[in-house]
Amino acid sequence: MWDISETKIISNNTILKQLAMISYKELGLVNTRRMFSKAVDGGYAIPAFNFNNMEQLQAIVMAAVETKSPVILQVSKGARNYANQTLLRYMAEGAVEYAKELGCKAPEIVLHLDHGDSFELCKSCIDMGFSSVMIDGSALPYDENVALTRKVVDYAHQYDVTVEGELGVLAGVEEEVSSAESHYTKPEEVIDFVTKTGVDSLAISIGTSHGAYKFTPEQCTVDPKTGRLLPPPLAFDVLEAIEKKLPGFPIVLHGSSSVPQEEVDTINQYGGNMKAAVGIPEEQLRQAAKSAVCKINIDSDSRLAMTAAIRKALAEKPAEFDPRKYLTPARDSMKKLYMHKIVNVLGSNEKLQNA
């Protein structure tokens, strides 16, 4: 016979459980506060890698563990739509356990919302266990950006979740993030913005942009030795002016893929069509990582590495139809890329407290 009272209790508990917030601390994640202050002091930057699928996540975790690096796992609105927000959250929780299984005693992993565009989206991520969120009000009029960012900070800080804001506009066309032109951050605005909003870090615009086509050929010069396009340099004078206004304050660089030409060549060799793809030279990112820039966002380079490896594997073995056979070289290639970024560009290797 049904015990109706018990059924009620069970369903009430289920509802409560569904409504209950999850703290990122229960998931073994950390926020960015201590990570960033160590990075600014130590002259290195934390890698913020976007992920949308299991192979990317495996590659990121393996690379972070092998290099003993802290890492930020970034989820965009597009990633949430593609992979399902609940699944992504559990994948991040799984990433912490996986890192431990790989031998890392105390992984430092942040789960971060990339380019949050509304208070509701940020709140939903915070309630689900994200340890950090970005509220990107950079396309809004200044006062609206301040008000929206402040609202997110007030909510996030109640739960010790850190918040990244943005001033200045990056150019670039991607699924969820797009703008035709870039506008450098105005150094004269940063103190007011940081003070009024209470953000924990600030994304700035100094000439980087999203995607694999960061500059038009007209903006570039041609390297006489290689015939490759050389992009214009980043506005380091703007970065320096911002650092002077906000000494020691954590600065974030978006759009920091270097678009490795070997990957673009492999894609083109095996049936792709990526002409005039240009990224940020690694030397400039190395220079930025030594400054107050303490978080560097990389997504496109991982997409290129994955696509190049898959195209090559499928072209070389056209009869293959087991996805594991072409996703294994793709995962290996992404892992190599992430390790290279950590060790040779950002310098975040060997920075874990208790590796």
By annotation, the residues acting in catalysis are: 114
Which of ligand 13P, ligand G3H, Zn ion, none is residue 189 near (CB under 5 to 8 Å by kind)?
none
Among 207, 198, 197, which residue's Cα sits nearest to residue 253?
207
What's the CA gap between 98 and 83, in Å, rounded?
19
Q: Which is nearer to ligand G3H, 104 or 253 (CB)?
A: 253
Would you count residue 138 as binding ligand 13P (CB under 6 A)?
no
Q: Which is nearer to Zn ion, 254 or 295 (CB)?
A: 254
The DSSP output letter for 215 is S
78 binds, among Zn ion, ligand 13P, ligand G3H, none (CB under 5 to 8 A by kind): ligand G3H
Binding site for ligand G3H (CB under 6 A): 50, 76, 78-79, 114-115, 174-177, 210, 254, 299
Q: Is 340 in the site for ligand 13P (CB under 6 A)?
A: no
Candidates 55, 108, 200, 299: give the one binding ligand 13P (CB under 6 A).
299
Do 204 and 167 meet the contact criterion of CB atoms below 8 Å apart? yes
Under the binding rule (CB under 6 A), the answer on residue 284 touching ligand 13P is no
Q: Is 200 in the site for ligand 13P (CB under 6 A)?
A: no
Minimal distance, residue 311 CB to ligand 13P, in Å: 19
In this structure, which amino acid lies at residue 300? S
Q: Which CB, 114 or 200, lies closer to ligand 13P?
A: 114
User: Whose Cβ is closer to ligand 13P: residue 25's or residue 228's?
Assistant: 228
C-alpha to C-alpha distance for 354 and 68, rounded to whole angstroms? 9
Binding segment for ligand 13P (CB under 6 A), chosen from 118-126, 192-200, 254-262, 331-339, is 254-262
Q: Hey, what's the torsion of the CAs at 310, 53, 278, 285, to 10 degrees? A: -130
Report the residue number, 88 or 309, with the smaller CB distance to Zn ion: 88
Contact between 297 and ligand 13P by CB under 6 A: the answer reads: yes
What whole-number distance in Å separates Cα of residue 126 and Cα of residue 23? 8
- Under rule CB under 6 A, which residues in 56-115 are in contact with ligand 13P? 114-115
**Cα(230)–Cα(161) distance, rounded to whole angstroms?**
39
Residue whose CB is less far from ligand 13P, 117 or 301: 301
Copy the structure tokens of residue 328.
């294994």
Name the site residues for Zn ion (rule: CB under 5 A): 254
| 257 contact, one of Zn ion, ligand 13P, ligand G3H, none, CB 5-8 Å limit per kind | ligand 13P
258 contacts which partner out of Zn ion, ligand 13P, ligand G3H, none, CB within 5 to 8 A by kind? none
Measured in degrees and rounded to the nearest 5, phi and psi for residue 183 equal -130, 120
Q: How far is CA 78 from CA 30, 49, 315, in A?
A: 23, 14, 29
For tokens 């107050």, the residue is: 292
CB-nearest residue to Zn ion: 254
Q: Which two tokens stand for residue 298?
A: 């990389």
For strand 172-173 and strand 162-167, is the pairing parallel, antiparallel, or unpaired?
unpaired
**Contact (Cβ atoms closer than 8 angstroms) between residue 137 and residue 149:** yes
The whole-angstrom separation of Cα 218 and Cα 229 is: 10
Q: Work out which of 65, 298, 305, 334 binds ligand 13P, going by CB under 6 A.
A: 298
Please, what is the minimum distance in Å from the beta carbon of residue 122 to Zn ion?
A: 15
From 259, 271, 260, select the one nearest 311 (Cα to Cα): 271
Q: Quick one: 196 exposed, middle or buried, by C-beta within 10 A (0-12, 13-18, 19+)?
A: middle
- Chain residues binding ligand 13P by CB under 6 A are 50, 114-115, 210-211, 254-257, 297-301
